[in-house]
Structure 1
């Protein structure tokens, strides 16, 4: 009997949480993260203020869930963008596809992109697990830059990311797993030397900075009236980055 009663309760709880998040996302779209108001959400859902806290115990807990969802959807979009490419597709083509997937997702729902990549929310501190969500977006770029041949322009960045890999076994393990190494092993024990890991990490970090710069400006309306398309600008940046890393 208890099990049969728990099923509907659990479904109702998840449906209510989903409704709360949908309303919060609408508030973000209308007025940014500052517009998220639990009292207004409670009223729209038909709950009292205290009752709402049974689903999310704070505004920060609600924002954290929205951020996790956004990162998960973005990671799916980025991975899917390169999913139709053959396994032996050139690295340059893979980076193009990954960048296009990121931009496509962001342009389609700019409020969610700005939630995770825009201006930090005053007083909000993201929980540690959102780092893993962010890494899931960058992981395909690590694979694309694995085996790259960086030129002089990006060598200083490679030197710093190589030092990062050397000093942080957790980061080294993440790079190794994302480039086909053994799960849970640092780069060196997964058959990957530190510099190779540093090259892949430098490529991913620079790709992220290029993407955030171009896409962030586009979705926030900074390119309006300037006479160029955001996709054209991003393509030019991706090609420049691919040249700097010697991608085929």
Structure 2
């Protein structure tokens, strides 16, 4: 609120218009997908001219970047809150699922099919690295499981994606397994591929978490 109070009326108006543009963009994405996003269509909905809307966003890619940035920041904040009581893979996994179920279009924008012709700027990668760092902290807190496997040596050699995190190769391996398997389950669930299969997706997701952690949670 204090930050809002320091803004001029013009700045507050600009922030409100930008927020409405993003809301309209999400509505378009939910209806036709991110690849069909049209600033001219949004301008028409808002009673603005196309050139007037471009005063708020330079173009389609600038708008998509803002949406992607918001989505990643939302997940990073969700992970940080879930890890508030200490690094916990189960807490992070269920926070991830709840975040995805709250807004499937937001999830698919960042973890679904890439938008043709769009390339995210470097600061998006920095937020994604923050998310992975929280996950690596949680994986590092888990008990060790078994001897090293050849892939872990490969991870030790190619640690770029870990972004300087001091995780061991085993932690890196476990984090990758967590990320890929749970996103696989979530993507199938959100796309409706479990419909009619006769099982509870939430219980399947929890079983995958148990398998990754090393067994069902006590109690």
TM-score bracket for the superposition, by shorter chain length: 0.7 to 0.9
The one-character-per-residue Cα deviations of 1:29-85 (angstroms, maximum 9, x if unpaired) are 1221123111110112222111111111110110011001001111222232343x4
Residue from 139, 145, 153 that aligns with 2:139: 145
How many residues are matched?
Answer: 210
Q: Contact 2:22–2:63 at 8 Å: present in 1 too? A: yes
**Cα distance in structure 1, aligned partners of 2:172 and 2:19:** 35
Give 1:143 shift.
0.5
Give 4+ residue runs of structure 1 displaced > 6 Å after superposition. none
Give 1:27 shift.
1.0
Give the structure 1 partner of residue 179 of structure 2: 208
The one-character-per-residue Cα deviations of 1:111-151 (angstroms, maximum 9, x if unpaired) are 10001000111111111111112122222211111154242
* 1:50 to 2:51 alignment: yes
User: Is there any run of 5+ residues in structure 1 with no aligned partner, and where?
Assistant: 1-5, 177-195
SS at match of 2:158: helix
**Cα distance in structure 1, aligned partners of 2:162 and 2:91:** 25
**Cα distance in structure 2, aligned partners of 1:99 and 1:171:** 19
Give the structure 2 partner of residue 128 of structure 1: 122
Give the structure 2 partner of residue 74 of structure 1: 75
SS at match of 1:227: coil
What is the correspondence of 1:17-36 to structure 2 with a 5 Å cutoff?
Answer: 17-36=18-37
TM-score (norm 2): 0.87
Q: Contact 1:96–1:238 at 8 Å: present in 2 too? A: yes
TM-score (norm 1): 0.77
**Cα distance in structure 1, aligned partners of 2:194 and 2:11:** 45
Q: Contact 1:79–1:140 at 8 Å: present in 2 too? A: yes
What is the correspondence of 1:180-195 to structure 2 with a 5 Å cutoff?
Answer: none
Give the structure 1 partner of residue 199 of structure 2: 228
Q: Which has the higher contact order (CA 8 A, sep 6+)?
A: 1
**Cα distance in structure 2, aligned partners of 1:37 and 1:139:** 35
